Amino acid sequence: MSLEHELKPLALGSAWRQGANSLRQAGVEEADADAELLLLYLLGISKTELLRDWRDPFPKAKLEAWNGLLERKRAGEPVQYIIGEQYFHGRAFEVTASVLIPRPETELLAEAVLEIADRLWPAPKGIKPTVLDVGTGSGILAITLAAERSEWRVAASDLSVDALEVARRNAERNGVGDRIAFIQGDLLTPFLMGGTIGDQLKIDILVSNPPYIPSSDIPGLQREVRDHEPHLALDGGEDGLNPYRMMASQLRRLPHLPRVVAWEVGAGQAEEVSNLLRASAMWNEIRFVNDYAGIDRHVLAIR
């Protein structure tokens, strides 16, 4: 559905309204917000500028591009992939089809890690932790922690070479490119005793947001996720717990057991993941952090 005849005489506000209506008719759930993001991206302006110029004419030279953006969104492509960007914890991150789109609930994991680490490694003592982010994807956790605590040593790993390239670019973009080591490998394998860098890195804090969707649930996911986000970063095996089983079994084979393990989990998985951690080592405390919907979304083990 083209808006060419409808948009020629329209102001920016009317272009947004008709674009949102076309997305809504195509079954897009967040039609208003997505149309606004696409319009801001197309025009290269801020929301404040859009509101200020609400009655200005829509530029005819951008009509074909506008229709193209709307068509991609109507076909189910996530708006973040279309514009190539998503914000996380107040910072802009590049996102491509090689990485998951950052979710707001993962910000709560970063905040919980910062709070616990500040208690375990108080600033005046001068001892700073080393953090490993496993399955870093776009790099949101590693980069956020490095940016928030400039004295920490941070490493980030991923099985996907393409994802690591996105994470490297995001680290440079956010001013921490020289402070994060990027390692390609499967879960904790590179960091085990005898691994490629196992004897070189003492991990104090292990964070991860691994794949946790059960394989059989993937066909029923929202089409934006199912058809566009990388299945490598979604599929957690038959029950969604394979990455946690593997990492829990690998913990004792690290040169040093981390003092903090902080993992994001799927709905209904927190108790099972906490049991895996209890079986792997002795912890002083295992706690859950709820997401914005009240679901136990993060499991943190502390010793």
Return binding residues for S-adenosyl-L-methionine.
Answer: 135-139, 158, 209
Give Cβ neighbours of residue 91 (< 8 Å, ≥ 6 apart).
143, 144, 147, 174
User: Which of 54, 72, 65 has the alpha carbon at shortest distance from 15?
Assistant: 54
Amino acid at 75: A
190 CB-near residues (< 8 Å, 6+ apart): 157, 183, 184, 196, 197, 198
- As annotated, the binding site for substrate includes 209-212
Binding residues: 135-139, 158, 209-212
| Residues in CB range of 130: below 8 A, 6 or more apart | 152, 153, 154, 155, 201, 202, 203, 204, 205
Helices and strands of the chain, counted as H and E runs: 12, 9
Tokens of 83: 């514009």
